[in-house]
Amino acid sequence: MTTVALDDELVGAVVEQVWESLLGAVARPWAGPQPAGATVPTVRAQVRLSGDWNGLVRLTCDPATAETLAAAMLMSGPDEALPEEDVLDAVGEVVNVVGGNVKGALVGRTSLGLPQVALAARAALAALPALPAVADDAARSLAVPTSRCVLDWHGAPVVVEVLGDDAPDVPDGRQQPDSSSQQAKTRQEKRKP
């Protein structure tokens, strides 16, 4: 099934809309050096698209940036420290909304999975079973980035990528990391008190 071109322009337009509506901010391109660092703690949120087009929409940033993203989304006060669970949930919702709008641009039948969010060192993310093909280097060999935009969020980079993939499909919420140094959540395991 042919899809519309998931190029940087289309994904950038989706991200702009999400940034404006969900975060109340203008999406500005990152002008600094490309994010790197194998051991830097990283928040990674992704949502899978399956069907006539298969792949991931993925957002990566550092934990401090994830906190400020969540604070903007939730309009929390400067003195309000958000629990880590809320931060990861908010970042997951950002990628969920981006993924949903990317899906809306596709032709054909494609379904949107539930978002997965992980907090770990980049090197640890490579082995995270719930997140197929997530290591930066591995991702390039297993899943060609269809689009990648790096945004400036209060002086820190936020990477939003769309990756068409041949990675193994992982059912939502079925696998969890077994390392205590990693945290991964899907909405499947959440329960409202």
Partner 1 sequence: MRALVVDDSRAMRRIVARILTGIGYDVVEAGDGQQALDVLARGPKPHLACIDWNMPVMDGLSLVVRVRENPQWRDITLMMVTTESEHSQIVRALAAGAHEYLIKPFTSDSLREKLDLLGLVPAPTGEVAS
Q: Are 129 and 177 within 8 A, CB to CB? A: yes
50 forms part of the interface with partner 1 (CB under 8 A): no
Asked if 73 interacts with partner 1 (CB under 8 A), we say yes
Using CB under 8 A as the binding rule, whether residue 93 contacts partner 1 is answered as yes
Q: Are the C-beta atoms of residues 111 and 100 closer than 8 Å to each other?
A: no
Interaction between residue 192 and partner 1 (CB under 8 A) = yes
Of 75, 80, 141, 155, which one interacts with partner 1 (CB under 8 A)?
75
Which of 97, 119, 149, 167 touches partner 1 (CB under 8 A)?
A: 97
Torsion region of 140: left, alpha or beta (phi above 0 gives left; psi -120 to 50 gives alpha): alpha
Please give the Cα distance from 43 to 124 (Å, whole number).
11
Which range touches partner 1 (CB under 8 A), out of 136-144, 150-158, 163-171, 180-188? 180-188
Residue type, 135: A
**Residues within window 100-159 making contact with partner 1, judged by CB under 8 A:** 100-101, 103-104, 112-114
Three-state SS for 123? helix
Half-sphere exposure of 123 (CA within 13 A, CB side): 5
Residues 6+ apart with CB under 8 A from 151: 15, 19, 27, 28, 29, 30, 157, 158, 159, 160
Which one of 89-97, 128-136, 139-147, 151-159 is the stretch in contact with partner 1 (CB under 8 A)? 89-97
Residue (14 or 139) nearer to partner 1, CB: 14
Query: Which residues contact partner 1 (rule: CB under 8 A)?
Result: 17-18, 20-22, 70, 73-75, 85-86, 89-90, 92-93, 96-97, 99-101, 103-104, 112-114, 172-173, 186-188, 190-192
